[in-house]
A and B are shown apart, each in its own frame.
Chain A
Amino acid sequence: MKGFYFIVFGTLLMHNISAQDKYLTKEGFVSFFSHSIVEDIKADNNQVLSIVDTSTGKIAIQLLMRSFIFEKALMREHFNENYVESYKFPKATFSGEIKNFADLDETNTVAEIVGTLTVHGKQKEISSMVTVIIADNNITLTGDFMVEVADFDIKIPAIVANNIAKTIKVSFELHHEPYN
């Protein structure tokens, strides 16, 4: 009988520990910025979902294209209707891994993040540096990277080609809290 309790207790403990390996946010921040000679376009999204598994360093991020807010309201409509076609491809996702996650601590806060970015139904492998701040009860990831619009099959008509940059800067700031 002692063995029975041991096993039950042991596996429950295991379950608990593994559950606390995951850190989630539903209010992550992602923005993108396009600079051109005609205008700068900036859009913010404050409803980004992101989850990190600290046992493996794996990370998954998901956002709705419709949740990007632009300075000019019409830009949002054009972005969704004409460029990213969010009625067909509502989400952008990233699935990847923070390399050497186990080695990160208070002094060593920079790691490489690699994975697959999916936007407009097209996938692209990306890698970038990320700053990881691990505090008592949360994990904060910040960083930025560049993406080529052409990699995601987003067509920009000639008439507005000068208004939109060919390379867009994406910035992110994600404050994860324990999941479950």
Chain B
Amino acid sequence: MKYTLLFVIMLFVSLRGNSQDLESILEQESSDTTHLVFATFNGTRLLNGHSVETRKEGILEFMISHRFGRVNSGFDQLFGLDESNIRFGFEYAFADKLTIALGRSSFEKTFDTYAKYRLAQQKTGKNPFPLSITLFGSATAETIKDYLPENKPSFSERITYTGQVLLAHKMNPNLSLQVMPTFVHFNTVPFDNDPHDMFALGIGTRIKISKRVSLNGEYYYNINPFESVDVKNSLALGIDIETGGHIFQLVFTNAVSMIEKGFISETTGGFFNGDIHFGFNISRAFQIKKTK
């Protein structure tokens, strides 16, 4: 009797080991993985400024951005459509984590170059990490000839630098948030008592309303603006439409400039006074180098 009982127990133990179904073995074997959270934002731009996203290695992105004049400029200016500012840029991903770009804006005839490096990516699973972190650095040079012949500025006097840390968290598939501590250094300022070093804090969000369409918002609070100029904080609201390889963004903003130092530090339009520029960003990504 004792042996029979023992046999039944041992058989049960043995059978249990055997009957553990195949699916649960696979679950157990696959449980120790970590997943990267990607597509926090559709594109490399939130609206005016950058998102944490970088392109994958070998992708050349051609970007055309456009801002019309102020909507409240009246019928004579066709509500801003007569005036147009354009930036085009070539942005190449040398690695999944590193993009280097060259751009040129018609506004103040500015050339810009930036480097963007993806430091960390949000993760879920076994070793989770809550944030995607991207570092951004740019240098811009104004080449507009709005000076008196005897006051010709040197090249270095036309340069401005911007540094940003982009921190983003994808709450769920439809909601992403981003915070952008920003530092801008002007080699030349409008008046002597204006700060050369400026700090700003940006916040942004993406709310997906369908698989391919999202509403985006972006706001930069300028902590120590120029004193000689009535600088406003920049606000942008827009719609993002992704159509496979193309990203089309419709933008409503009080900023004219499409580069960091411009829209963060030199925006003068009041959004709620109607100084709104309508515009768009169009991006086309080309895979120059295959991933394998």
Q: Is B10 an interface residue (CB 8 A)?
A: yes
CA distance A179 to B1 in the complex (A): 35
Do the beta carbons of A88 and B291 come within 8 Å of each other?
A: no
CB-contacts of B33-68 with A (<8 A): 33, 35, 38-39, 55-59
CA distance A131 to B13 in the complex (A): 35
CB-contacts of A64-80 with B (<8 A): 64, 66, 69-74, 77-78, 80
Q: How far is the CB of B48 from chain A (nearest CB, A)?
A: 23
Number of interface residues of B (CB under 8 A): 38
Do the beta carbons of B10 and A7 come within 8 Å of each other?
A: yes
Do the beta carbons of A71 and B211 come within 8 Å of each other?
A: no
Cβ 8 A contact of B17, one of A18, A66, A70, A73 = A18
CB nearest to B19 among chain A residues: A18
> Chain A's interface: helix, strand, loop or mixed, by majority?
mixed
Do the beta carbons of B291 and A62 come within 8 Å of each other?
A: no
The answer to whether residues A15 and B17 also contact, given A3-B3, A7-B10, A74-B59 and a CB cut-off of 8 A, is yes
Residues on A with C-beta less than 8 A from B14 are 11-12, 14-15, 18
Cβ 8 A contact of A60, one of B17, B18, B23, B291 = B23
Do the beta carbons of B3 and A81 come within 8 Å of each other?
A: no
CB-contacts of B184-199 with A (<8 A): none
The answer to whether residues A77 and B38 also contact, given A15-B13, A24-B29 and a CB cut-off of 8 A, is yes
The answer to whether residues A73 and B25 also contact, given A14-B14, A62-B30, A78-B244 and a CB cut-off of 8 A, is no
Do the beta carbons of B287 and A72 come within 8 Å of each other?
A: yes
CB nearest to A56 among chain B residues: B22
Q: Is B290 an interface residue (CB 8 A)?
A: yes
Q: Is A159 an interface residue (CB 8 A)?
A: yes
* B contact residues vs A (CB 8 Å cutoff): 3, 6-7, 10-11, 13-14, 17-18, 21-23, 25-27, 29-30, 33, 35, 38-39, 55-59, 96, 173, 211-212, 243-245, 285, 287, 290-292
